[in-house]
Structure 1
């Protein structure tokens, strides 16, 4: 219906008034003026009602026709336009189909587009938003821009900033798509952008540049952008407004960036390069910066690089000297981009640019000199140009290494280091006779210069072909510089030296140059720093296995003497060098061959704690295999044991570390026993120092962990291990050290009883009596650890019966311990005991079941859970299962049905289920007449209990090889309850019930009983359920009709299997 279609009105009852006033000429009010507001109100009310009635529906042709008609009527108020546009905005935003409807209706679309000319900013803004939805959709963007693209462009110049911003956003949304490029070519939109670029408003020019930049991303139109707008953009780079200049540069950069070589060629083929020349000569630094950036981006291949260098090379070199550092930096970057290509080298040769670089190197400004070095460094990176650059600029660069400005020196050194990485560059360096200049630099009075010279030599050391020459010429000077007073010089010299001796050829060249004598002299220097550096040099030689024997034989004794040096740094470096030697392949053997063990013994007796500690570290590093382990224990075992009692804790700690490293190997442990050192450990245990006693227990830990030594360890030290625990358990005034000793002793006992031989040795040493007393300790930690020890003893078949008989009752009491860790350890011990048949039988013989019965009745859920766990383990063994189930089966059922705690219910059900997991236990289950309790579980209100009861019946029925099982199940008529459970609301219960019925129906008698229980009536419901139950239902059908026909009406529509 069209808006306000005229309808027949009713006759007014008040018309008599005008009939009775014939003298009144004309209306008393302006009816035309009164009609317009009334029409606007009525249109608004009608439009609002129509929108409310159709809210939520997708836009259709009919809806669009009605809604758009309001926009085209002149007596509609702006508020009515807004609610109509808001409704269209809502529908177009959420539906792609609605956007297609809008584009396909030219009349409706045109009425919306006309709203762009509304005098009200709110209407124009909302219209831009609506049209933006059409532009943002790839399926409608082409048609949309063809229709109203120019109008959107014009609105970017709108006086209202919000409207202009929304128009720009809508336009930007569209130009993301490739199809838009064709739309621009087919229309006059590009001309519209040209008008925007010439706008007097900076914000408009910024938006125009932004649009062009987004277009330039597409390779198919980038060339057009450069040709049509290039000069305009170049002019805008000089714009007074910085934002305009920035956006213009960005747009230009997007067009000529290295992704599009064809666009760059279009740039070069036009007269735009002349425009860049003008930019480079601009008085504004920001413009010169942008021009340099454009040139850098145009360098995409060899042809463009040569063009840029020939046309702009000299200007760029001049700009490197620009007063503005940003300009100079960008000019250097553009130049560096060009010199990456080989063709540019020829361009440099054909011009006077090399002379220009020479002038830059001689500039009075440090920044310019640094930039010139950077450019040369890029030339050096190419093997074909490195030799040319070195010949022409080598001497200048070497002089700049001595520059007062650190950055210049650093850049010059970097340029040199780039060159000498290649063999051709290194050879050119030699051919240019620059080595003599390097020798002068090494003698410079400036530490920075000496350090840079060392860096250059370090780069030469990488090339094995000239390494020997460098070492022969500069080896002695480097050795002297390693001892330089300046730390940086010494560091760089050492790094250069290290680079050489990493290679076998370098080490050999060092020997051939007879430099070892100089190292020997440095080891005897009066200056501690020199001695320390000499040790470092030898340390680097120790890595080479081919000369390690020579180095150890020549310098080993001197290094040992330096361990006693008064200066700690020298001693540390000496010990580091020796440690590097003994940890290298063949190093320990070289020590043995050089007979250097005698100095070690003397060092261990040194009066200086530092020396004793460092010697222990050296011995620890020597323990690398079973041979060195036994050698260390045989030669130094007693001395190390004495050092464990050293007054200096750090010495004792390092001695302990060395000893531990040795006895980790079986050969070291055996050597310990053969050397009869156990007596010394006994003395350590009786020391008055808690630290020493703790270390003694650590040694015993290592011995107890070795099967061959555990027996002797427990026999000799068993009582001594228990004694400190027993002594401190009742002591109220205990120190932290006492607690550490107790912990160490308990840990040692735990380690000892893990191997089977350790368990037997524990019993033979008569330690069980002392352990029994510890179970009554007031300290939870001791009780818990003792329970752990008993658990390890219970793993052994030989000792398990003894453990159960002697400690079973105490462990059962400890399950109720207030401390959770103690209760857990006691339960674990009992669990380990009753896992084996002999342990389970011993548990019953010890009449401990009565105590378990008390635990089951405990008011504490955790205690009842532990009791259920024990019963479950007893039920695992078929011999003890009958006894356990006959005594506690009914109690377990009551716990499952009545207990409030879910944890207790779960554990009780687990113990109950363990009884039917094997045929032997299933027979015990029947003998205990526990099948009579299952119906009660199946009727439990708890889902978990019903589910587990069904699974229990299923497992029991699976033992069909026992004739009594099927018969007992059929006599109990449990299958009837299972069939009823197929109607249960819980899917897990249904699944478990189907499983149980499937197992029952496998023998013929069971199959017949299940069918007679009307199980088939429930099957259609199963087959219509979720997949898990449907699969089980199919298995049940296969079992029921294994030898017969499956009725097709059992399957719901579409669910019958193929």
Structure 2
């Protein structure tokens, strides 16, 4: 008997009357019965599930489950229990197939649960439908459930969203399911899920993209020209254009490239359009490139630029722009056939096509400018004509293309005269990008031709742009003026303009861009102009003061400019500038101090050094770095190093050496190395840095494994210098520096290996012993490809072998294998002879093979002038005689 069936209840006259004629207050027996019914049915279902759990799922069992799910008096908790059980059962293939047979007829009932207010009900319903999708493929079924499941991708419950994604993965693995998924709003959910931090969600999305692309690619090879097949291909390539928008989808659809050539020749405009879109997306994501596509296919895309349909032309433009930037793109576009075609498009009536063509040819000029000579530079001339194009975008693209081309002398000479004709109008543009580009073009034209291309009016306009409100325009205008002023004629032209004189005398903010190139700036500025800039250092406007400091910091890089600044007494303002409340002012003042010291234009005092050292604790990291740069430059001179030694700089090094910024660590090591070296090389001064304590040395040793190779070198240099003194060598060993030696000797950097050998030589000098493994590692360096490293290793070994224990340690290595080649070198022969002599003296010479017995004495006879060689040769000959 089915659980929901019950025995027939006989009619009763008493019951009939009492039910229809209530007297007084009563309660509804049906209202009281409904909760009881839900409890009873829940218990029935629990018992039923428990009873059948061990048995195989049958159609009858499924019918009972459906009867409960369809009954309105069954509670949500009961239905959830049933769905949970079905979701568990669906994991088994046999039970899943039974469920499919039942659900196919009742799928609309199951789908309704996707709208349940209970997230757990939605969760298990998704799970069931997704699992069963692997066993049943039907268009009706897929179309019925796909939209509902896809809509759950925006569900507020995360577990429901995950379950929905998993279900879509299962659905998309069948042809009908993939088609149904494609026709939903699934595309809207890709961006957010592809960016998810959850790797499982990203994996689901990628799998869906792969499944969709596979079934769409299958529709591409249909060669029949019937309307039905063309429509199928159109829908397939449209889907692929969507899928390939994302990197994961583009890689999933990579097989589509096999059919691109045929699709581009399709008579259907939409197929041509979406094929170009797909190809552009795949190229963008690196799935294919111009090299892989080949010249013929690229030529077909170029031919679509003449297509009658604008959508096809726009898509072809997009595809070509991506291909042009891909591997081999420049070489392909530079082919004379394609170049001719693109040149013709510069005269197109379509402004978008003119703009695109200028962009492609401009990019081509970066690496393949010589290709324009094949067409007698006709593309360059036509682009120059587009400087008067009525379309703003096309004109802007022409300006950019000419900028790229003007870097090359040949092109600049061809288009120079024509470009100059349009300069007055272009230099009056309100577009900052155009103004900046034109300034740079002018600089390039002057550089490759002469200042004769400019007249006084144009020169005035360029100079006036040095005070433009846009920073980029100001910077490029300064570049143009600096280039013009490289010749005396150009400098006189600039200085002769009224606006130049007014600018120099004013508080113009363009000084911040005067990053002067070479000392030709003196021709332009003159000593009076320097005095005017220095005068601005006292300005009350903090911005003007900052700009003046920046300008001087850049100028001080050049020796002539640094000397001119010293003569204008700019150094008198340095103490107050270092104490400025403006971080940029402090930063650039430190840079100026460093440059002046480097050029010998600054007499460093202890007071100035103390001020700069105090900036090592500045709140601004850029100020701290610039202060470190200044101190490193000051330390290059004896007086400067002495001034720094008198400050409290030593307490800053632990923090500087631990900073995460490799540039700061490098500068700190550089400065410390100079100070340690100064302690040793300057007699009469009280040692300060060379007498480092163990805890201080422990700050340097970890830098031996620094990721920055330059920091590694500086650290080795410091420890090597410390090791040159007995106390320093002991501290270096106690700090564990020798533990890093094997790794340093294995470095790919020859300088690192050489410096490591130098440090070991100092350590051994002070009678410190190296163990057998370390000695063997040094011996390996005798075969190093770098001669300086080999010489360093020989020096270490020659010093080790000066005592009996050291000689025996080296004698136990494979040193004898490297001896013949080392004896061939004039540079290493003396040291290797000394080493072998020491080994012979202490009877630690390794066993000589027959080959060695012949090779070594033969090579020694070639160097009879070396006393060690004669003694060693005689000793070896005696030893050979004993064998």
Q: TM-score range by the shorter chain?
A: 0.3 to 0.5
TM-score, normalization by structure 2: 0.45
The alignment's TM-score, normalised by the length of structure 1, stands at 0.38
Of structures 1 and 2, the one with the larger relative CO (CA 8 A, separation 6+) is 2
